[in-house]
Amino acid sequence: MIKIKVPATSANMGPGFDTLGIALDLYNEFTVEEIDNSLEFVGFEEAFMNKNNLVYTSMMKTFDVIGYKPRGLRIGISNNIPVSRGLGSSAACILGGVIGANELAGQVLSKQQILEIATELDGHPDNIAPALFGGMTTAVKTNNQVFCDKINLSKGVKLCALIPNFHLATKKARAALPTTIPHADGVFNVGRVALLVTALANGNFDLVKVACEDKLHEPYRGNLIADYENIITKGKSLNPLGIFLSGAGPTIMVLLKEDDVNFNKNITSYLNTLENSWEVKELNVDYSGSTISIV
């Protein structure tokens, strides 16, 4: 039996819409096994124990690409990544399926091919790339090709995820975006993407606050999240390095200095005054990406 461990991810980092992402030390674990003439699911909620299961459909797509036909499959999950919260749960399932299928078929795909198949299934590379390679990545998709590189993060950074007890469907969050944007907003984001990457790589943390600003998706999606503006305002008042919407939301991600011991306590006190329940979860960067073992 093959086990695939895939990290959660935070995509759309600050101004890096559909391109910047970072892997987190929170994981889903998948097991895949070829069996005789049946399909079995282990550990999934009942609603996902069918052929619409995202791990299964990702495996079958990969088998089609490779030209491999399994006799039957047993697919298991140990799920720790919150679903529909902007932490890459779908990307993790897709990668678990693509990598698992590749392993069962004899490891015929390169990592680049895995990246491109998984990106095709997900639609965007900004969760897939960091989940596969670990660390912080920048990735773009051109036709069927994905171009990706890792960013050498300076030491001394940790993250804090503010995770609400409600979902936000990616489709709904995507529908909130305009079809066109002002040229000035594009210029605003382009400069800040470059600044964010260089600031985090060089350890110039004083620049991160400004570099995390965004005009491409947060102004539109924030309206879908209860208390979003108030949380952002309160969060900024506690002097983190930066704060931004994680993926399509509703999770809010905070970049902190490694020695910051006050932010979590203070933001928790504030969040406890709100109508909805919010979990404050301290996280670190995962540098390993997806890993494979035999069990």
- Per the annotation, where are the binding residues for ATP? 82-92
Which element (helix H / strand E) includes 78? strand 73-78
CA-CA distance, 31 to 25, in Å (whole number)? 19
Neighbouring residues of 192: CB distance < 8 A, sequence distance ≥ 6: 14, 15, 210, 211, 212, 213, 214
Annotated binding site: 82-92
Tell me the C-alpha distance between 157 and 37, whole Å: 49
Neighbours of 248 (CB within 10 A): 23
Helix (H, G, I), strand (E, B) or coil at 52: coil
Q: How far is CA 3 from CA 31, 83, 234, in A?
A: 4, 20, 41
Distances from the Cα of 175 to the Cα of 34, 90, 224, 293, angstroms = 39, 18, 11, 39
Q: What are residue 239's phi and psi, to 5 degrees?
A: 60, 50
DSSP string, 226-237: TTHHHHHHHHHH
In whole angstroms, what is the distance from residue 127 CA to residue 63 CA? 22
- What's the gap between Cα 32 and its chain centre? 22
Work out the number of other CB atoms within 10 angstroms of the CB of residue 129: 32
